[in-house]
Amino acid sequence: MENGAVYGPTTEEDLGPGRGARRGLASCFSLGRLQLRRLVLKVLQLLLSLLAFVCEEVVSQCTLCGGLYFFEFVSCSAFLLSLLILIVYCTPVYEQVDSTKVKQSDFYITMGTGCVFLLASIIFVSTHDRTKAEMAATVFGFLASIMFLSDVVIMFSERRQESQMRKPEATRRAGALTEPLNA
């Protein structure tokens, strides 16, 4: 016991910083919960809404500022909401919450954000002073709203496919309940 023989077989060799299990913050992130196309859409939503917000912030003066202020609010909110959803999908928080509730929240948040972002972009296009920063902001706003709405279409089609997969099982059960017992 004094020579360490008891502890020898159970200890593992230190593989160094570059090898072995993931360490630090990398061990908290998982990109495998989303399909690649959905992950790309989520990252594009995040980046395009951030770019729209930054371009809008560069605008130094405006004639009709209502559209600018609405676009500012929506683009910032879209960035923060898309960041929140991406964090939920990529961290252990996803395992703490029911996955169907996360997917349902993602669907409604993404749909609402896409529709309001599209509306804000249309309003901003109709009220801006045609400076380069404003035009860039509206382009990024329209692109971001397209990414949000295309993500909604993908989520809707996935939900529909899942319900179609479950439908034959439900009809079998319903058929068994309507058949007479003595048949």
Q: Can you say whether residue 75 is alpha, beta or left, with left for phi > 0 and alpha for psi between -120 and 50 degrees?
A: alpha
DSSP for the chain reads -TTSTTTTTT------TTSSS--GGGGG---TTS-HHHHHHHHHHHHHHHHHHHHHHH----SSHHHHHHHHHHHHHHHHHHHHHHHHHHSTHHHHS-HHHHHHHHHHHHHHHHHHHHHHHHHHHHH----HHHHHHHHHHHHHHHHHHHHHHHHHHHHHHHHHHHHHHHHHHHHHHHS-TT-
Least confident of 66-75, 79-88, 159-168, 169-178: 169-178
Mean of pLDDT over the chain: 85
Q: Which residue has the higher pLDDT, 13 or 79?
A: 79
Binned at pLDDT 50, 70 and 90, residue 9 comes out as: low
The mean pLDDT value for 100-129 works out to 95
The mean pLDDT value for 76-98 works out to 93
Looking at the predicted structure, is the pLDDT value of residue 105 above 90? yes
Query: What's the whole-model pTM score?
Result: 0.76
